[in-house]
Amino acid sequence: MAEIISANISRRKTGWVVNVTYDNGKRSQLSAKTRKEASQRAAEALSGTTTTTIYNRTQRLIYTVRDAFEDAWKYEWQYQAGSKTTRLYAEQAVAFLGADTPMEDIDAGDVMDFTHHLKEDRNNSPGTINSKYSKIRVMQQMAILHGKVRNLPVLPKNLKLNNHRQRYWKDFEIKKVCQYLEKIGRQDVIRYFLFLTEMGCRPIEMERNKASDYDFKKGTVTFFKKINDNKTGNRTLPMTPLALDMAKQQMPPVKTARMWPQKISAMAYQLERAVDFCGIEKIRVIKDTRHTCGTRLGMLGKSELQISAWLGNSPAMCKRYVHMPHDQHGECYEALTKLRVAA
């Protein structure tokens, strides 16, 4: 029989819990109404007088959130593409739910609290929230497959969230923000902000850029990805006239120097202050610059393939930007009519 190596006390809404750990890596829990009772049970467990009681009381070792995370990593996530991000997302779920919480105690209410925390406290996008939520569902599967948990609360398959990605910077908002920033002498933030809205690049791509990545003779910029993945890789884009002007003003004297040394958090702070001062509707000041560029391209009639090539996203991610005007249906009609006549 396994021996107990530790017994720690923690408090829960329903009372006190003794978290028992065995030398074979397994865990179990003992409940208590008061801290004194919990301390007594922990002492008895460590002395070995209640080892048999623990097994008889539970009939099995309790399978915790930590156990589910470790099994999910071992059996499913470790060798998947994007495993680093998956682990990070799953660790956030473990931290919020509590590593020693039994998986069978995680219900829909806990999940909704988690998603609310991600949306309000972390300002995560709907896609990111659902991605993190999916890690809990995988851990539930591990509880059934490897934890021998028989009954688990039913969780919703898909969480319906208001997609605030549809929010984008309007031209008059950009103008008001730039006027405020100019008044307080933050031309560096203006250059950073306008370049983002014009090019639709990721801030991290700007952060990687060196002065040598900008070719003013050709009017192009090259954005690099740190690691190749299933999305579009490195891309060289022609700069819009405004973006080119901002880049020229930003150009450092040394070609090997970073083009945009500003910290993303510092730029976001200044833009948030500007938004508050100007009374602009709530917006994700940095992230929505990318959606602003995609929305502009969609309004100009560009396809998801064209937009994805520009933004460096998958075509599926860019469908939201595409809205074909009704007058273009005539072109489809003419093409199909010509095809029928030719046949």
Cα distance between the two ends of the chain: 80
Q: How far apart (Å, rounded) are the C-alpha atoms in residues 156 and 223?
A: 39
Rounded mean pLDDT, 239-246: 92
pTM for this structure?
0.53
- Section 8-35 average pLDDT: 75
297: pLDDT strictly greater than 90: no
Q: Mean pLDDT over residues 280-296, rounded? A: 85
Residue 157 pLDDT greater than 90, yes or no: no
161, two tokens: 């969230």
Query: How confident is the model at residue 341, as a pLDDT?
Result: 59
Compute the distance between CA of residue 55 and CA of residue 133 in angstroms, rounded to an integer. 32
Distance in angstroms (rounded) separating the CA atoms of residues 213 and 220: 8
pLDDT at 247 over 90: yes
More confident residue, 86 or 157: 86
Mean model confidence pLDDT for the chain: 80
Rounded mean pLDDT of 330-340? 60
Output the CA–CA distances (angstroms, integers) from residue 49 to 3, 31, 136, 308, in the order listed. Answer: 11, 17, 36, 65
- Quote the pLDDT of residue 90: 92
For residue 52, the model assigns a pLDDT of: 38
Residues ≥6 apart with Cβ < 8 Å to 9: 16, 17, 18, 19, 35, 38, 39, 42
Model confidence at 42: pLDDT above 90: no
CA distance 190 to 330: 42
- State the pLDDT at residue 54: 42
d(CA 129, CA 162): 11
More confident residue, 40 or 165: 40
Q: Region 73-96: what's the mean pLDDT?
A: 89
pLDDT in tens, 181-234: 999 999 999 999 999 999 988 888 888 889 999 999 999 999 887 665 545 568
Q: Decide: 183 and 270 in contact? Cβ < 8 Å.
A: no
pLDDT band at 306 (very low <50, low <70, confident <90, very high): confident
